[in-house]
Amino acid sequence: TDTIRLLTKLKRGSGGWGWIEQSTEPSLWITYNVLGMMGRLRQLGWLPENGQLRAMIAEAVAYIDDYNAREFARYPKADYSEYVLTRDYFTDIRQSTAAKRVTSATVQRLISEWKNQSAPVKAISAIILNNHGYNATARQAIESLREYAKTSPSQGMWWPSLDDYTVWSMGKIGATSIILDAFHAVDPGCADIDRIRQWLILQKEAKDWGTSVTTSDAIASILTSGSRWTVPAHEAVITLGDHRIEPSRTDALTGYFRNDISSLQPSGSTLSIVKAPAGPAWGAVYCQYTGVMKDVKA
């Protein structure tokens, strides 16, 4: 495909991917991003069965193994969480002994330090610890995240502390996506998962999700967790008093429609909306009228 051809052009001799074709050196950040997306595609079952792509992924994993092993030899107390989180997508690819030491040291550091971290780092810690068999500690991290969350029936579940969050090029959406991944990994099936998904989707109602990387992560997190929301929606039954309102035109993909009900004399009537099956939906009813400008209050 075109994407695999592009990745081939950006591949560098040391195994990583470069920013652009003109760059001669690989970019660790770009390589992490590509491997992260490939890992998410694998989770979703959408990673193409392509030998060339498989070989590129193996070389890129070897590149981050080698890079982090060298960095760890120089700076053993640095944070290697991003490496371990990315590396855990590809447990089927052999890890060098030196790289294993990076993973082991990171896991041990997270066991002792997760309590003092921000919400997204607690989530990353929970995922890594759960991946490496420290399930009880991972559950403690999830319980701690619950303590700092806010919930409401209309908005779902969110973390106010993330309002100005920017780490690893993530904003509030990317950080919440990682928290969603942590809840799904450590406590699959809990009700909070759908609450977090609800909050993420409602953010899309009024604004975009940010960068393409953040958007991809949010979509992958929603699709890999919680109850199934991708079933085709049945038509909503909308009645005004005894009159059923039939949408004039409905978008095939989203179910969106907009109807003018002014001819039905709606004032004083009861509007009823019944939607099935369960799943996210939103809408609004508004009144539009013409008034004298001087009578309009601030």
Please state, rounded to an integer, the average pLDDT across all residues of the chain.
91
Question: What is the per-residue pLDDT across 59-94, written as a single tens digit (0 to 9) for each?
Answer: 999 999 999 999 999 999 999 999 999 999 999 999
Question: What is the pTM assigned to this prediction?
Answer: 0.83
User: Mean pLDDT, to the nearest integer, of 83-106?
Assistant: 97
Return the percentage of the chain with pLDDT > 90, whole number: 68
pLDDT of residue 213: 85
Q: Calculate what percentage of the chain has a pLDDT beyond 70.
A: 97
If one compares 122 and 273, the residue with the highest pLDDT of the two is: 122
More confidently predicted of 23 and 69: 69
- Average pLDDT score over residue span 237-253: 87
Residue 294 pLDDT > 70? yes
User: What pLDDT sits at residue 232?
Assistant: 67
- Mean per-residue pLDDT for 49-65? 96
Q: What is the mean pLDDT of residues 231-260?
A: 83
Kindly tell me the burial class for residue 176, based on how many C-beta atoms sit within 10 Å of its own C-beta (0-12, 13-18, 19 or more). Answer: buried
pLDDT, average across residues 158-187: 88
The pLDDT of residue 165 is above 90: no
pLDDT confidence band for 169 (50 / 70 / 90): low
